[in-house]
Structure 1
């Protein structure tokens, strides 16, 4: 760590510089300290986009993309920053999410598009995301992080010359950042109500979508205390956005649209859930039909699949396995590149054959990187990352399977790492190779009755009633009239 006097001078100088760099926020109209120009925001968006695409992939759907572009451009035109080069994308992820990057880049997952039940819900979330951009939340977050962390460090220096309060002060500053983020989310909700209303949609539907988010969150068991969440509680947002919509419409009477059936027709046939061709987990194994390989997944491990890598690990978080393509045209070249890029010290290195495939097996430790001006951290078994790597040559590609844990836990974790890596083999099962994805299809209710009764009449399994209920924003006992358009899930 840098000496306290040097750090304090840097903080004081930084704060003095910040105070001279103010700009007027286009949404609030207030003058505020800003470290990011419009040109820098646009540059960040351009730089981030390729990484987002590489990580998540793009979902090709001509109808939905044209709809998103049309509504996005209409909303951008009435926004507080119409001059930005807005771009809109559908990313190939089943996760229910939407996000924005500075400079005008807006992304919707196919997962969130599947869960909207009308155009107005889409427009409300679109307005929310554009609101993050127009209100310059990324720039404000960056500035506030430097100011609050810098202020906390400076305060700790002034209070305790030994720096003993530094760690707790920084933790306090980080907790304060959660509040800033919640404030930005709430501000974007309000902006979203205004923007979606201005292009003709009923913002009450935006509030209804927060009820869907709340239900997804409750079903997943992932809810966190509101105080520690970077997003306001969706239940609270449901109430607040309804209030904002009611107030807006009272002040601006008009014919606000919902457009349920038009939206449902657009998403008929939309891919739902994991796309098996990109890999899927079943019966404690990961299968990749397109690349024709498989390997075991330990029972009880959580996992996440992305176009660039597959990650999994136990719930205790003490170890993990990452599978990805390695860089290099040979096993030796891939090993050399990996050691250099990851700054590794190789402890063991041996040639293997894994189910008929040539392989290299390595055990290594990551060397600590020396930070300029900071003392070398003492390396211990607890803070040293130890890695088991199998580089496997298969079908003209080289795959890397990395097992990671602390050096202290490595002996306990290694047998699992070895079982996963040596379980890599070709995929030949026709059932796995030809697996078709689930899709969202729109059907008319063949009879009147409860949602559960109607789903049963549409040959939907009882085990998926709650999942279908979330998808349609209906409860099992909700009344459904004959002819109502509903979403089902089928191959």
Structure 2
């Protein structure tokens, strides 16, 4: 970490420069104090993109990628900032999400692409995300936070908890800075209606998609989509967006596109839910077919998988475990890097073999880092509250040409109680050779034509869909069980 004085100098300079000059917002036309130049926005997007790709991965589908490139560029051309170097990507995540990064970077998950039912829904969300960029919401949010909480920001960056997490925490902090207010979300809804309507699409369908979002968020046991985590209520947005769309069309009469059939044909075959090749949980075990390993997941723990790590945590939030790739070519080198990167104070350290796999097992505490004062002097070490000391059980496995790190963490007072759970996971890491798990295929969306008019429930039964998938299928198709579906209608089903 850099010295405290450098950080304060950065913010002091930013405030001084901001108070001396204003810029005009390209969307609102109002003069605003903005600390982030357009070049800085573009640089931030370029800097963030590799991290986003590394964390989520790109979804390889040429026709979908060509589609979002074509539609993205056509909308960017009529936006308030057509000169930005826009890029449009589909990331390999099942979460229903879309997001934008300053400088023109827009991302859709394969999860949200699977849930759209026509091009107009997609275009509305595309307009919303481009709206965040053109209205400079990230720059405005940063300015507001710097002006109002300079001291708090410095404290966050220099806090021990953040420093202990290293570069990943800083990347996460950058994304926190880019979170938007409800006012910004509502403004982007309005921009999205305008942009999608201007390129010829029916923005009333954008409102319809908020009904899908609400059903996802209301569904018991399913996480609220990130797309809605800090957004206004989707029910209110449905009403407001539909009203804005109708007002636009009243003032600008014309034929507005929906393009349901063309869109559904295009997403035929898209992966739905977790992709087994990236790892999956079944019967409280995690299996990774591509890397060929497995380990148990504590019963009733929550978990989240990504291309770069697997995390799981007790529901009370007081203990968690994480598997990731460790830096280093050997166990010794990896152990040294882990200790250095996480500022571990090692209490126990031994080499062993677990299920034929060379392993280093460590028990450590995360040390409070000393802060440096102005002039480079080290500040006196403050006593750390023993109740907030994090204790870690680490297993480093030399496996298939890489070093994998499994960390089990809890606060020191409860570490002994959690240690048996950590050991059960760590000591049952093993090779995966079950052909059923190794060859597991992902679920995919398939598009079918309804043979005869019937209720949605009966239509799904006619395609062999089980009752336990009816709610997911209803959300995907924006239909309820008893809704009548006309003969010849295209519908989505879930199959291998």
Calculate the TM-score normalised by the size of structure 2. Answer: 0.89
Give 3-state SS (helix, strand or coil) of 1:266's partner.
helix
2:363 paired with 1:379? no
Describe how 1:129-140 pairs up with structure 2 within 5 A.
Answer: 129-140=129-140
Query: Using a 3 Å threshold, how does the CA distance of structure 1 residues 21 and 280 change in structure 2: closer, same or farther?
Result: same
- Give the Å deviation of 1:370: 2.2
Describe how 1:401-416 pairs up with structure 2 within 5 A.
Answer: 401-416=406-421
Describe how 1:109-148 pairs up with structure 2 within 5 A.
Answer: 109-148=109-148
State the match for 2:103 in structure 1: 103
State the match for 1:466 in structure 2: 471
2:450 paired with 1:445? yes
2:441 paired with 1:429? no
Contact 2:11 2:146 in 1 (8 A): no
For structure 2, the residue ranges without an aligned partner over 5 or more in a row are: 1-6, 154-176, 374-378
2:283 paired with 1:283? yes
State the match for 1:188 in structure 2: 188
Query: Using a 3 Å threshold, how does the CA distance of structure 1 residues 68 and 368 change in structure 2: closer, same or farther?
Result: same
CA deviation vs aligned residue, 1:135-186 (integer Å, no higher than 9, x gap): 0010001001112224999xxxxxxxxxxxxxxxxxxxxxxx9996101100
Give 3-state SS (helix, strand or coil) of 1:113's partner.
helix
* In 1, Cα distance between equivalents of 2:203 and 2:9: 49
- Give the Å deviation of 1:236: 0.5
State the match for 2:173 in structure 1: none
* In 2, Cα distance between equivalents of 1:474 and 1:428: 41
- Give the Å deviation of 1:380: 2.4
Query: Using a 3 Å threshold, how does the CA distance of structure 1 residues 376 and 229 change in structure 2: closer, same or farther?
Result: farther
* In 2, Cα distance between equivalents of 1:38 and 1:235: 35
* In 2, Cα distance between equivalents of 1:445 and 1:106: 35
Query: Using a 3 Å threshold, how does the CA distance of structure 1 residues 151 and 405 change in structure 2: closer, same or farther?
Result: closer
RMSD: 2.2
- Give the Å deviation of 1:329: 1.2
- Give the Å deviation of 1:381: 2.1
- Give the Å deviation of 1:377: 3.7
Contact 2:91 2:110 in 1 (8 A): yes
- Give the Å deviation of 1:254: 1.0
State the match for 1:363 in structure 2: 363
CA deviation vs aligned residue, 1:211-267 (integer Å, no higher than 9, x gap): 00000000046799xxx9621011110000001101111111111000000000000
* In 1, Cα distance between equivalents of 2:431 and 2:258: 50
Describe how 1:237-276 pairs up with structure 2 within 5 A.
Answer: 237-276=237-276
Query: Using a 3 Å threshold, how does the CA distance of structure 1 residues 141 and 211 change in structure 2: closer, same or farther?
Result: same
- Give the Å deviation of 1:325: 1.1
* In 1, Cα distance between equivalents of 2:429 and 2:222: 32
Contact 2:91 2:108 in 1 (8 A): yes
Query: Using a 3 Å threshold, how does the CA distance of structure 1 residues 179 and 331 change in structure 2: closer, same or farther?
Result: closer
State the match for 2:3 in structure 1: none
Contact 2:59 2:92 in 1 (8 A): yes
Query: Using a 3 Å threshold, how does the CA distance of structure 1 residues 12 and 363 change in structure 2: closer, same or farther?
Result: closer
Contact 2:14 2:35 in 1 (8 A): no
Calculate the TM-score normalised by the size of structure 1. Answer: 0.90
Contact 2:142 2:178 in 1 (8 A): no
- Runs of 4+ residues deviating >3 angstroms: 7-17, 150-153, 177-180, 220-224, 372-377
Aligned length: 459
Query: Using a 3 Å threshold, how does the CA distance of structure 1 residues 377 and 183 change in structure 2: closer, same or farther?
Result: farther
2:388 paired with 1:389? no
* In 1, Cα distance between equivalents of 2:56 and 2:16: 41
State the match for 1:165 in structure 2: none
* In 2, Cα distance between equivalents of 1:352 and 1:377: 36
Give 3-state SS (helix, strand or coil) of 1:350's partner.
strand
For structure 1, the residue ranges without an aligned partner over 5 or more in a row are: 1-6, 154-176
